[in-house]
């Protein structure tokens, strides 16, 4: 059965007049008569009573009018919903992030901005390690992950998001605490506190690389699972650390944050998703990520 038949029937049943209904439907009257007759044949029930002069609804016809209206409304609503989903205006997106992401204000800002532009999208945010994110991406449990490059994974696509300098974290009693800026080399003799590699891809590697670039091999005194723990160790005098600038907001009386003059080492974060995805919602989200990154880059 064609939905056109239902539309035609609703028009006739509302107008109770074939010619007027045909006018409303922008077709001629004879095809409309045929349509209605075909509909009645298909259903097997007389829906209209034509008395050569006046059209009235039968009881089943009255019932069918309501049904037809309901069906057409449902079809319209369904198509509209799917179209909105197709444009990425409606849907569901699950996002993974490493715990270190939570310290910046970039992701909250991104999400707030995206929600405003896509009020029909429900966002779920889950904290998980970079490794867990990769598994979740491949299983479809999340569609986007936020983690720090570089990635060794194949088959994923990467959208740069934030890029912020590493800063030195020193105990307040450290001789260099309170300086505006120091070269990394100045910390060559200090033991380092780091986040283990498995927890934040690139974290440990980045520190190692930075120190080697500065001309020394750091002594790793301690691994901490979370950034607040790192700061705790530093405050307790176990050593120094390098952390993303955003860690400054975790201000703590016992530590001092000092910019690095050379080398300036940047820690990056990117949105990661499976390559070959073309979900419009995902595209819209990544566009937002890219937009924020570009705006930051300019500023």
List contacts with DNA (CB under 7 A): 2, 4, 17-19, 26-31, 33-38, 50-55
Q: What is the DSSP string of 114-144?
A: HHHH-TEEEEEEEE--HHHHHHHHHHTS-SE
- Strand 120-127 and strand 191-194: the pairing is unpaired
Question: What is the pairing mode between strands 90-97 and 219-223?
Answer: unpaired
Query: Hey, what's the torsion of the CAs at 271, 275, 277, 281, to 10 degrees?
Result: 10
Binding partner of residue 58 among DNA, its own copies, none, CB under 5 to 8 Å per kind?
its own copies
State how beta strands 241-244 and 156-171 pair. antiparallel
115 binds, among DNA, its own copies, none (CB under 5 to 8 A by kind): none
Report the nearest approach of its own copies to the CB of residue 141 (Å). 14
Q: What's the token pair of residue 261?
A: 């003059």
Q: Nearer Cβ to DNA, position 41 or 59?
A: 41
Residues numbered 38-67 forming contacts with its own copies, rule: CB under 8 A: 43-47, 49, 58-60, 63-64, 67
Give 104's contacts (C-beta < 8 A, 6+ positions apart): 162, 164, 244, 246, 269
How far from the centroid of its chain's Cα atoms is residue 107's Cα?
Answer: 10
Q: Which option in DNA, its own copies, none does residue 55 bind, with CB closer than 5 to 8 A by kind?
A: DNA
Q: Say whether residue 123 binds its own copies (CB under 8 A).
A: no
Pick between residue 2 and residue 173 the one whose CB is nearest to its own copies: 2
35 is in the binding site of which of DNA, its own copies, none (Cβ under 5 to 8 A by kind)? DNA
Of 157 and 261, CB closest to its own copies:
157
Question: Do 182 and 168 form a contact (C-beta atoms < 8 A)?
Answer: yes
Please tell me the count of residues contacting its own copies according to CB under 8 A: 33
List the one residue out of 287, 253, 293, 236 whose CA is nearest residue 270.
293
* 26 interacts with, out of its own copies, DNA, none, CB within 5 to 8 A per kind: DNA
Work out what residue 27 binds among DNA, its own copies, none; the CB cut-off runs from 5 to 8 Å by kind. Answer: DNA
In angstroms, the Cα distances linking 287 to 22, 85, 117, 269, 275 are 47, 16, 12, 16, 15
Record the tokens describing residue 173, joined without a space: 């009693």
Does 2 contact its own copies by CB under 8 A?
Answer: yes
Q: Does 161 bind its own copies (CB under 8 A)?
A: no
Q: Which of 86, 150, 165, 291 binds its own copies (CB under 8 A)?
A: 86
The nearer residue to DNA, 51 or 298, going by C-beta atoms, is 51
Contact 113, 288 (CB under 8 A): yes
Question: Toward its own copies, which CB reaches closer, 76 or 105?
Answer: 76
59, interface contact from DNA, its own copies, none, CB < 5-8 Å by kind: its own copies
Tokens of 86: 């197709």
Binding to its own copies by residue 81, rule CB under 8 A?
A: yes
Q: Is 139 in the site for its own copies (CB under 8 A)?
A: no
Q: How far is the CB of 101 from its own copies (least distance, A)?
A: 25
């Amino acid at each position: 059965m064609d939905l056109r038949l239902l539309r035609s029937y609703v028009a006739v049943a509302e107008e109770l007049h074939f010619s007027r209904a045909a006018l409303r439907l922008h077709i001629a009257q004879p095809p409309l008569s045929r349509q209605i007759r075909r509909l009645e044949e298909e259903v097997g029930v007389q829906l209209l009573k034509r008395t050569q002069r006046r059209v009235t609804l039968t009881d089943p016809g009255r019932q069918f009018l309501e049904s037809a209206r309901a069906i057409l409304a449902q079809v319209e609503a369904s198509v509209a919903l799917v179209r909105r989903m197709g444009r990425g205006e409606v849907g569901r997106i699950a996002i993974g992030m490493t715990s270190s992401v939570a310290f910046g204000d970039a992701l909250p800002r991104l999400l707030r901005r995206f929600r405003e532009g896509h009020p029909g999208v429900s966002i779920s945010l889950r904290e998980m390690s970079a490794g867990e994110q990769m598994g979740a991406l491949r299983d479809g449990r999340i569609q986007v992950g936020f983690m720090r490059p570089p990635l060794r994974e194949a088959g994923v696509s990467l959208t740069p998001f934030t890029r912020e300098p590493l800063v030195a974290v020193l105990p307040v009693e450290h001789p260099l605490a309170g300086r505006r800026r120091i070269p990394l080399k100045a910390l060559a003799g200090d033991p380092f506190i780091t986040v283990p590699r498995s927890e934040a891809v690139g974290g440990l590697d980045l520190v190692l690389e930075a120190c080697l670039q500065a001309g020394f091999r750091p002594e790793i005194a301690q691994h901490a699972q979370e950034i607040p723990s790192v700061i705790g160790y530093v405050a307790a005098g176990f050593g120094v650390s390098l952390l993303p600038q955003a860690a400054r907001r975790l201000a703590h009386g016992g530590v001092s944050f000092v910019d690095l003059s050379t080398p300036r080492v940047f820690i990056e974060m990117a949105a990661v998703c499976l390559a070959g995805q073309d979900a419009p919602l995902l595209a819209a989200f990544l566009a937002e990520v890219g937009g924020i990154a570009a705006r930051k880059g300019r500023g």
